[in-house]
Every structure is written in structure tokens, then in C-alpha cells.
Structure 1
Amino acid sequence: MTADILNSTARRFPATDMPVGLMLALVAAGLPRTVLADLGIVAPESSLLYYVLALAPFAAWVVVALVRGTRRPFLDFLVLGALYGLSLLIVHQVLWDVGPSLGHSPPESAVAFAAGFDPAWRELALRVYTSGIAMMIGLGSGAAVGVVAWCAQVWRRLRGGRSAR
């Protein structure tokens, strides 16, 4: 069953070899930590639960990168990272003013950036800056796992393993 999900011939996500369902499941795996942290239910770096919620999605990405053959491993995970970054951006913006979210305690670097703007533009500057951070986290994560997937593909080829699907 797992191999069916990982290597399904189901409809592919645009620009990738990854099935839509797998792509969306991997993006969704990161949402609980983001939502729970923004709502103040699980404080960042506060407990084992936080670390499980933060690291398990990336562990799943790496497992998929190592196990699943593809014709374009780097692009598959770069697109996944872009979607993950968009999910972070959307959650942070939707929950901006809720609980101890980013709207109440933005990163110091965002505050320093926004300080250079007229007061009427500061909140927009904060939101744009934190959105940029979310996208960099997503794209950086996707690129890092994409390199792992590319290396796994090269390794499979060198040992005469499965071809990319």
C-alpha cells in the first residue's frame, strides 16, 4: 500500500512527478505545528511534542526522497517546499492577530526592518517580511530535501536499481 501511494500513477502535481495526493499530504503534515504554535497551544521549542510536530514532516519528506524514484527529484521537492512556504504564509497571516501569534510577537529582525517605514506602513512591512521568511523556510527546506532526493536517484542508478518513474 505504501509503495502504491509513493509511486502511484495518479494525476501528478503540476511541474512535478509527484502525485497530487502525496504532495498535499506532505504539505499538510507541517500544518499542525504551525497552527498550534501560532495559537499558543504548543510553544516553540517547549516540549517533545513541539519537536515531533516540527521534525516529523521533514522526516517524512526525507523518507519519500530516499524511497521514491522520480525523473526530476530536485524540482519535485522545490515545488513541495514552495507549497509548504505558502502554507506557512497563509496560516501566519490568517492567525496574525490571534493569541501569541506573529502579529503580537514578530521576530526582532522583522521589527527592525519595519522600523524603517512610516508608521502607516509598518504592519504591512512586518507582514511582508514574515511572509518572505516563510517562503525562504519552505524553499530552503524543499531545496535541501531535493538534494537528498537527487543523491538517492544517483545512488540508485549507480547500483543498477530502479529507474525513475
Structure 2
Amino acid sequence: MTAITLVRGDITRQTADAIVNAANSSLLGGGGVDGAIHRRGGPAILEECRKLRASHYGRGLPTGKAVATTAGDLDARWVIHTVGPVWSSSEDRSAQLASCYRESLRVADALGARTVAFPAVSTGIYGWPMHDGARIAVETVRATATSVEEVRFVLFDDRAYEAFAGRLR
């Protein structure tokens, strides 16, 4: 059974086999978690992302999918990039958000990763309500068959930490 742990802090400071990046579809960096991972991880991550764009993902990584690159200067072996959906009050995109977690774990399994650090995907600039994002994240990880031994949700502030903690009680 996969252990789920919570950490309040900066995902780029985590030690894990894989760190999940809440990427934008371009894979070329951006704001929030994505920008922080690219900045701290250094140019090797961007170089591999550019190669992915030039080969398999010419139109970008689709929402809900995941792909891995080197972790560059981060204290991890890999970065798993996943593109979360933008929140919509008129369209249920929760299946796409759940897919981000499932697909990231699938990629982690393929790599042989045993520890994976996740941010709260889509709950920042993409506007997903934190409590619902926490529900989807925890339920999906619990329901996904995986060889990953520890999933660590790394939460940037107290509000996010409390939302996730409420789902683990």
C-alpha cells in the first residue's frame, strides 16, 4: 500500500525519486510550480522538454497526460511533467485532474520511482478550488494501483496543507 504524506513547503527543495511538475502544455516553463522547477532544476530540464516538443509533443503535452525528464539540479532523478485542467464552473473537468495523478504514477512506475512528490495540481493559477483539488488528488492516489511506496503532497501554504490534511483524516 502506498503511504501518503503531507509536507508544507517548497517542492523544489524535496528529496524524492521523482518530483511532479504542474506544467503548462508547452513544457517550456511558466509561472508557479512550473517556473520554480525550471529555475531551480536548471537548463537540463528545459533542454529535454525542448527535445520532447521537437519529437513526440509538437503540439504540446495534452491535459491529463504525463511525461518525464531529467531532474537537472533538483534532488531527484526525474521530473514528471503533467498538465492540469483549468477550472471551469460550467464544465466538469475532474476526470482530467484525476488523470494527472494517475498518469504521473504510471510514469513513475515505468521509471521505477519509489518516492514521488506532488504539488496540488491545478489549484494555483488554473483556479481549481483547493478543497476539491485535495479530494480528487487523495482519492485518485488511493485508488491507483502503483509500485510507488510514498506519495508526498508538498503544499505551499497552510490553506493547502489543511485542505489535504482534512482528506487524510
Q: Which bracket does the TM-score occupy, shorter chain normalised?
A: under 0.3
Name the structure where strand makes up a greater proportion of residues: 2
Structure whose CA Rg is larger: 1
Q: TM-score, normalised by structure 1?
A: 0.27
- The two structures have a TM-score, normalised by structure 2, of 0.26
Q: Which has the higher helix share?
A: 1
